[in-house]
Amino acid sequence: MGNTVSLTMDGKAIEASEDQTILEAARENGIYIPTLCQYAGTTNVGACRVCLVEVEKARSLVASCCMPVSSGMVIRTDTKAVRDAQRMIVEFLWASGDHNCLACESNGACELQDLVYWLGIEKPRFPIEPPGYAVEKTNTMISRDLNKCILCGRCVRACNEIQVNEVLDFARRGYRAKVGPAFDADYINSECYFCGECVDACPVGAITFAQARFSGRPWELKKTRTTCTYCGVGCQMDINTHNGKIVKVTGNRNYGLPNQGSLCVKGKFAIDFVQHPDRLKTPLIRKNGILTEATWDEAYDLIARNFKTIKETHGPDSIAGLASARCTNEENYLFQKFMRAAIGTNNVDHCARL
């Protein structure tokens, strides 16, 4: 933290650290400034210009996400000039894309849609002219509709600065500018790792979960915090369910450590097994050569009896345990504790070592 400076924002005297931006100082003091391109944990680029504010003695409106505070600064965030500029920017974004909210997966969770409503824009004053890009449906995980892209660059910075995969970047210039992998390739033909960071970062419906298409609107989904079971790191994530079915998995940056909202391809997209018809949902015990369904109590009793018989007949070292990388560290600790303390053997190994 740098030294503290005093400034005035919307007539309110506030204090902020000299290494903060106007936007950061505003949020810290409960003053709302809209943004689209700003994404915490990445470089501030001032691309969308939606966060414009008036600064006394400045020659023009300034982007609050990039302008550092200074002592004595007088800032106004809610003036006619600021609102007119924000409306103009949002109208340009609306008119330059195919923002059909009726069929969009982000309807109800779209930051552009929220801004249109907040600014009271009923219709853009410009003719709506989408670029006419083909929707990318070449993989089963991520769908890209660049007709909805607002060129905020959040997916680029999330890919390059958070995941450091460096797959996405801008190509072309002016009205022909677009975002994507090198040589304008589809995700499936690029170096994409399918971590899904770009999906979580996208503020509109340009990048969405292909698996979740027509499976539930954002307001219909129930989010449940859980721990990913694919390895022992303990990544936190939200399971999005609708009508008792998992629709998609999203990261949540508010959960903090250990993953700060980021996930790998398995944690983000490998969910189909949960509802697969071949998945075992109850224990099976072989009776007269036939596997039949049993209760958990019956299964545990059978395991305990067999362990006891083997231990009494052949000794504890005749039993070995293989732990799983899909368990948490805590579960693996309990497993080795059970083998050493309850069974009485050190024959414990782990599948990640093999």
Spatial distance between the Cα atoms of 163 and 160, rounded to a whole number of angstroms: 6
Q: Quick one: pLDDT at residue 318?
A: 97
Query: Whose CA is closest to 83, among 119, 31, 37, 32?
Result: 119
Q: Quick one: pLDDT at residue 105?
A: 95
**Which residues, in sequence order, are CB contacts of 318 under 8 Å at separation 6+?**
310, 311
Per the CB < 8 A criterion, the answer to whether 238 and 249 are in contact is yes
pLDDT in tens, 253-300: 999 999 999 999 999 999 988 889 898 989 999 999 999 999 999 999
Q: Where are the domains of the chain?
A: 4-78, 220-277, 284-353
Q: Quick one: pLDDT at residue 348?
A: 95
Query: Whose CA is closest to 84, among 120, 55, 58?
Result: 120
Pairing between strand 74-76 and 62-63?
unpaired
Q: Match domain 220-277 to its CATH number in 2.40.340.10, 2.20.25.90, 2.40.37.10, 3.20.20.140.
A: 2.20.25.90
pTM for the full model? 0.86
Residue with tokens 């599948």: 351
Spatial distance between the Cα atoms of 315 and 85, rounded to a whole number of angstroms: 80
**Which residues, in sequence order, are CB contacts of 273 under 8 Å at separation 6+?**
279
- For residue 335, give the H/E element and its range: helix 329-337
Q: Quick one: pLDDT at residue 229?
A: 83
Q: Residue 233 above 70 pLDDT?
A: yes
Q: Match domain 4-78 to its CATH number in 3.60.20.10, 3.30.1360.10, 3.10.20.740, 3.90.1150.10.
A: 3.10.20.740
Q: Residue 232 above 80 pLDDT?
A: no
pLDDT in tens, 122-176: 999 999 999 999 999 999 999 999 999 999 999 999 999 999 999 999 998 888 8
pLDDT in tens, 68-88: 999 999 999 999 999 999 999
Mean pLDDT for 10-15 is 95
Average pLDDT for the chain: 94
